[in-house]
Chains A and B, each alone.
Chain A
Amino acid sequence: MEMINLTIDNKPVVVPYGTTILKAASGIGIDIPTLCYMKLDDMNIENKPGGCRVCVVEVKGRRNLSPACCTEVTEGMEVETHTIRAVNARRTVVELILSDHPADCLICAKSGNCDLQDMAHHLGVRKIHYEGEKSMYREDTSPAIIREIDKCIMCRRCETMCNDVQTVGVLSAVNRGFHAVVAPAFEMNLDHSVCTYCGQCVAVCPTGALTEVDETGAVIRALSDPTKTVIVQTAPAVRAALGEEFGMEAGTLVTGKMVAALRRLGFNYVFDTDFAADLTIMEEGTELLTRLSAFIAGDKKVKLPILTSCCPAWVKFFEHSFPELKDIPSTARSPQQMFGSIAKTYFADKIEVKRENLVVVSIMPCVAKKYESSRPEFSVNGNPDVDFALTTRELARLIKLGNIDFKALPNEDFDQPLGESTGAAVIFGTTGGVIEAAVRTAYEIFTGKPLPRLDFEELRGMDGLRKATIDFNGTPIHIGIAHGLGNARKLLEEIQAGKSEFHAIEIMSCPGGCIGGGGQPYHHGDAEILKKRQRAIYSEDTNKTIRKSHENPYITKLYEEFLGAPNSEKSHHLLHTKYFDRS
Chain B
Amino acid sequence: MPGIKLSEKTIGQIKTICSDFGNQGSELINVLHQVQGKLGYLPAEVQEVIAKELNISVAKVYGVVTFYSYFTMIPLGEFPISICMGTACYVRGSEQVLAEFKRQLKVEVGQSTPDGQFSLNCLRCVGACGLAPVVMVGEKVFGRVSPQMVKNIIADYKEGTAGEAKSA
Contacts and interface: CB of A to CB of B under 8 A. Distances in A.
Interface in A168-196: 168-176, 183-187, 193
B59 interface: yes
Interface string A143-183: 00000000000000000000100001111111110000001
Interface string B53-65: 0001111111100
A170 B62 contact: no
B44 interface: yes
Given A185-B47, A186-B1, A186-B44, A174 B58 contact: no
A496 to B, nearest CB: 14
Interface in B41-90: 44, 47, 56-63, 66-67, 69
Contacts of B66: 174-176
Contacts of A174: 59, 62-63, 66-67
Interface residues of B, number: 14
A170 B67 contact: no
A186 B2 CA distance: 12
Contacts of B67: 173-176
A172 B60 contact: yes
B59 A170 contact: yes
Interface in B93-128: none
A169 B59 contact: yes
B72 to A, nearest CB: 14
Contact of A169 (B1, B44, B60): B60
Interface residues of A, number: 16
Contacts of A183: 59
Contact of B69 (A171, A172, A173, A176): A176
A421 to B, nearest CB: 40
A97 to B, nearest CB: 20
Nearest to B63: A172
B28 to A, nearest CB: 12
B45 to A, nearest CB: 10
A449 to B, nearest CB: 48
Contacts of B62: 172, 174, 185-187
Nearest to B68: A176
Contacts of A175: 66-67
A184 B47 CA distance: 13
A169 B63 contact: no
Given A185-B47, A186-B44, A169 B58 contact: yes
B53 to A, nearest CB: 15
Given A185-B47, A186-B1, A186-B44, A173 B63 contact: yes
A32 B123 CA distance: 42
Contact of A184 (B1, B56, B59): B59
Contacts of A185: 44, 47, 57-59, 61-62
A169 B69 contact: no
A126 B93 CA distance: 40
Contacts of A193: 59
A126 to B, nearest CB: 36
Instruction: Identify which of A169, A170, A187 gathers the most chain B CB atoms within 10 Å of its CB.
Output: A169
Instruction: Identify which of B56, B57, B60 gathers the most chain A CB atoms within 10 Å of its CB.
Output: B57
Nearest to A169: B57
Contacts of A176: 66-67, 69
Nearest to A187: B62
A153 B95 CA distance: 30
A187 B62 CA distance: 9
A186 B51 CA distance: 13
B63 A163 contact: no
B55 to A, nearest CB: 10
Instruction: Identify which of A172, A173, A183, A184 gathers the most chain B CB atoms within 10 Å of its CB.
Output: A172
Interface of B: 1, 44, 47, 56-63, 66-67, 69
22 contacts: A163-B60, A168-B57, A169-B56, A169-B58, A169-B59, A170-B57, A171-B59, A172-B59, A173-B67, A174-B62, A174-B63, A174-B66, A175-B66, A176-B69, A183-B59, A184-B59, A185-B44, A185-B57, A185-B58, A185-B61, A186-B1, A193-B59
Interface of A: 163, 168-176, 183-187, 193
**Which 3 residue pairs across A and B have the least CB separation, nearest first?**
A169-B57, A172-B59, A172-B63
Given A169-B60, A187-B62, 16 more contacts: A163-B57, A163-B60, A168-B57, A169-B59, A170-B57, A172-B59, A172-B63, A174-B59, A174-B63, A174-B66, A175-B66, A183-B59, A185-B47, A186-B1, A186-B44, A186-B47
